[in-house]
């Protein structure tokens, strides 16, 4: 079977040690996490994780089964790419000169980014979007000189009015 990327939406207890147990599950099975984002939800007792990994259908099914066995995991769902809004966040600091400043700022606008810090010799840019958009901006920015960058893991939610809470298990989660 062919390896492909899969996206998991996971609701977990918002308490210490949960992230360690989940990352250990991947590590023990020698599965890599491509992207991980975790934060508290509208319910302070829960955190939501977006996990992106790669593997064939068997790997994906095994990961989902193993995650569901963990006590603090309340819900695991495979998010289908065609029915998911997926966004990443990038902060990137670039070298600038008088001659490159306007070209960089114009390009930031084309990428629908925002200049969040501006100095005589550098500019810090914030861009949000799909992975390919961030990759394209990084490739463009490399010619000017990247001083540093920080890229957050992806966030993902299903399209439409449905959520991870929508099913018969919702009462147990909340």
pLDDT in tens, the chain (174 residues): 578 999 999 999 999 999 999 999 999 999 999 999 999 989 999 999 999 999 999 999 999 999 999 999 999 999 998 899 999 999 999 999 999 999 999 999 999 999 999 999 999 999 999 999 999 999 999 999 999 999 998 889 889 888 887 764 554 555
Predicted local confidence at residue 160, as pLDDT:
87
Closest Cα to residue 89, out of 26, 156, 22, 44? 156
Confirm whether pTM is higher than 0.75: yes
Question: In CATH, which of 3.30.70.260, 3.40.50.11260, 3.10.20.740, 3.30.70.1150 is domain 85-155?
Answer: 3.30.70.1150
Cα Rg of the chain, angstroms: 19
Q: Where are the beta strands (DSSP E) in the chain?
A: 4-13, 33-40, 46-55, 73-79, 84-95, 114-118, 122-129, 146-158
Tell me the CATH number for domain 4-79. 3.30.70.260
Task: Please report, for the chain, the start and end positions of each structural domain, with discontinuous segments joined by +.
Answer: 4-79, 85-155
């Amino acid at each position: 079977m062919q390896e492909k990327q899969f996206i998991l939406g996971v609701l977990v207890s918002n308490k210490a040690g949960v992230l360690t147990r989940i990352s250990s599950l991947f590590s023990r099975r020698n599965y890599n996490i491509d992207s991980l984002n975790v934060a508290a939800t509208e319910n302070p007792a829960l955190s939501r994780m977006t996990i992106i990994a790669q593997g064939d259908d068997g790997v994906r099914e095994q990961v989902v089964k193993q995650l569901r066995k963990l006590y603090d995991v309340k819900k695991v769902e495979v998010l289908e790419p065609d029915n998911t809004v997926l966004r990443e966040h990038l902060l990137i600091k670039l070298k600038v000169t008088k001659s490159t400043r306007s070209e960089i700022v114009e390009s930031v606008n084309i990428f629908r980014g925002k200049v969040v810090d501006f100095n005589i010799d550098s500019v810090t840019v914030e861009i949000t979007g799909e992975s390919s958009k961030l990759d394209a901006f990084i490739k463009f920015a490399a010619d000017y000189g990247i001083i540093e960058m920080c890229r957050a893991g992806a966030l993902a939610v299903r399209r439409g009015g449905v959520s991870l809470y929508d099913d018969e298990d919702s009462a147990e989660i909340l």
